[in-house]
Amino acid sequence: MAEPDAARRFDAIIIGAGQAGPSLAGRLTAAGKSVAVIERHHFGGTCVNTGCKPTKTLVASAYAARMAQRAAEYGVVLDGAPRIDMKKVQSRAGKIIRDGRAGIETWLEGMDGCTVFRGHARFTGAHDVKVAGTALTAPHIFINVGGRASVPDLPGLGEVPYLTNSAMVELEAVPAHLVVVGGSYIGLEFAQMFRRFGSRVTLVEKSGRLIAREDEDVSATIREIVEAEGIEVRTGAECLSFARRDEGVAVRVGCTEGVPEIVGSHVLLAIGRRPNTDDLGLDAAGISTDGRGYITVDDHLQTSVPGVYALGDCNGRGAFTHTAYNDFEIVAANLLDGQDWKVSERLPGYALYTDPPLGRVGMTEAKARQTGRTLLVGKRPMTRVGRAVEKGETLGFMKVVVDAQTQRILGAAILGTGGDEAIHGLLDIMNADVPYTVFQRAVPIHPTVSELIPTLLAEMQPAT
């Protein structure tokens, strides 16, 4: 396609200022490239505005509330029960959002060689983009548009008010009864935090168990943890529908046990994400997507159009801030440093930020068993971790799965206090591709959660 007459030329165009885009702009401009960054709404993407930063800020407030509730267990005497000032909780989260957003915006606007455009970008050709009436063109285009909450077509949903993760971080009042539809990562975090803020909470999950992608022992233990805090869990809710009631919103769960209908004051939909790719003009560029709208990419994150790349949540190759940032690292290494990094070489690692948190890396035990390998499995309850005992936080367990023949760690889960940090010891040794026995020569610091990892590895048994 011929270049538009009035198009402004750049070496690179970055659509979206999420986790990958700004850092890539920094690398490209440092290499002497001219860069256009386009952002239609808030700088910082999901993580800064509706994801990691605000939710983990709320998790911290919920943890403080829980510790205040448990204060007497530690010999700390409070005069009366703790109260929640939800406006102050939200204000604290809001400030962290604004500070993060402003920091990224200021960085990009002050970056030599970078021009910031505000508005919705749409492709008009393979390497041509229009934003706010201005035509831009570049040999390299990087799409970093992120995703949003999925809102499926469920009976009655269009007739009732509901919340998504974006609205939840803006609440200034504690819901009387929060019904969370979706018993996976986002749903679990919000369910626990608002229970700790004082809401009655019912967690509804379509499948037979919570976070079904995890091993059954992880799923069952997390259910025990949240139920012990007073969260009602309803699984097997395969016939979901919604209706208005005087008291709020009715969620018909159709479960085989329990009342068939739950009426809550508020409903949170936490049933997946979808990419922000449906209004980018991808067809005009010839950029392919899959059946769910994710942009298809190769191992170097290049789309079906040479010179056009997709990074972050919109490519379906990762759903986390750290994978989006790693997408930037892959592209920068390959285009600027002469490297050959591949997304297929990335180890899957992530965390669930309930309390206690779940740190995960690599395969689950169930997936490892499906490979047919001869396995070694080690498991240790947190009641046998000194640091957890000292903190009075002994819920959960640690588990590791090893290939008995190669002595390589295949996967691990740490569901317990500090699990989101301690998992990195296992993640790092897996990245180094060395035998698990290397751990035996380490001298860990006492008292920590991590110090029990070598012990756990030494106690492994053949999988039966």
Q: Among all residues, which ones are annotated catalytic? A: 446
CA-based angle 263:264:266, to the nearest 5? 145
CA–CA separation, 295 and 286 (whole Å): 11
- By C-alpha distance, which of 51, 23, 53 is closest to 37? 23
From CA 316, how far away is CA 200, in angstroms rounded? 35
Instruction: Measure the CA–CA gap between 269 and 250, rounded to whole angstroms.
Output: 13
* Long-range CB contacts (within 8 A, 24+) of 162-165: 162/242, 162/249, 162/267, 162/268, 162/269, 163/266, 163/267, 163/268, 163/269, 164/268, 164/269, 164/270, 165/50, 165/51, 165/55, 165/190, 165/268, 165/270
User: Phi and psi for 332 in degrees, rounded to 5?
Assistant: -65, -40
Q: Which residue is associated with the tokens 């809550």?
A: 264
Rounded-to-integer distance, Cα 276 and Cα 283, Å: 14
- Backbone phi, psi, residue 375, to 5°: -115, 150
Distance CA 147, CA 51 (A): 11
Q: Are 268 and 162 in contact (CB under 8 A)?
A: yes
Question: Residue 458 CA to chain centroid, in angstroms?
Answer: 32
Q: How far is it, in rounded angstroms, from Cα 192 to Cα 194?
A: 6
